[in-house]
Amino acid sequence: MKKKGIVLVCLLFLLTVAVVFVGYSYSNKQQEKLIHATTASTTEETTEPAEKKEKEQAVDITTYEENRDSLSIVEYLNYIQTVEKETAIAFYGQLPENATWSTKAEEYLKEQVTGELTSSSLVSEEADSYELYITNTFNELAETNASVVFFMVPALGDQVRDISLGDSEDYLTRNVTSIKEVLPDALVVMVTPSPNSSGIEDYNSRMLDYIQYMENAKETAAANDWPVFDLHDLYMNKLEADNIDLTATLEEDGYSLNSQGEELMSELFIEELSKPIDTTSGREE
């Protein structure tokens, strides 16, 4: 009887060990299955967004290319990002080196463009179309690799230079031609200057003020299908709508913008950056 009890205890012990072993083995197998399922799920989640992003990017490129005649500058720069992975802009022409409105515009564009955006400024407050052409800064401009060049129309500079409207048109055209020679894929956008009270009806020896040179530049741009940001007229229209005198936005010299004027110029320029224009003169598809 005693022996039977010992045998029974041994059998129960072995049975317990077997149950524990089977349970442990089952647990390990279930854990492996869970790990495998989790890994597969993670891989699928990681791959799917990448494939989706690639597909969406392809759709965006197609959309951009189909609408090149009506893209905003923001959209155009994002389009350039998708095909070239880098983007740059440049300001060129007559503009005070310390203008703050253009700096604010640069900051805005850097926020709107998906990738890195570099900016360069090749401007002078006393520039005119003749000087810009003969000083030959185009090689320096080429180094910027700019996708968009904002050509600040030197209307006041040409008025001071006292050149004819015909010569002004000729040198503007030569400038744009030279820009396109060093940056064939650049989109050149003509930008009219901010208004000034001292230059209006301040005639040179040809009885021309800066307004007439500016209008001449706009006509030249239209004849050559160059995009134009007419900030001058937008500025004057805004002042009229808000019943604000021009002198309230200028320094005492009547030429330089004060803080209110700088703010208005930045607002108008930023608004223009989001409006559709014809970008087909830029990068070839």
Is residue 51 predicted with pLDDT exceeding 50? no
Per-residue pLDDT tens for 90-122? 999 999 999 999 999 999 999 999 889 999 999
> How much is the mean pLDDT over the chain?
85
- The pLDDT of residue 63 is 85
- How far does the chain reach from its first CA to its final CA, in angstroms? 99
Q: At what angle do helices 259-273 and 100-112 cross, to 10 degrees?
A: 30
CB distance 149 to 93 below 8 Å = no
- The residue-averaged pLDDT of 151-158 equals 98
- The residue-averaged pLDDT of 218-228 equals 97
- The pLDDT of residue 224 is 96
Pick the CATH number of 71-273 from 3.90.1300.10, 1.10.1530.10, 3.40.50.1110, 3.40.190.10: 3.40.50.1110
In this prediction the pTM is 0.79
Burial 160-179 (b: 16+ CB within 10 A, else e): bbebebeebbbbbbebbebb
| Domains in the chain: boundaries | 1-66, 71-273
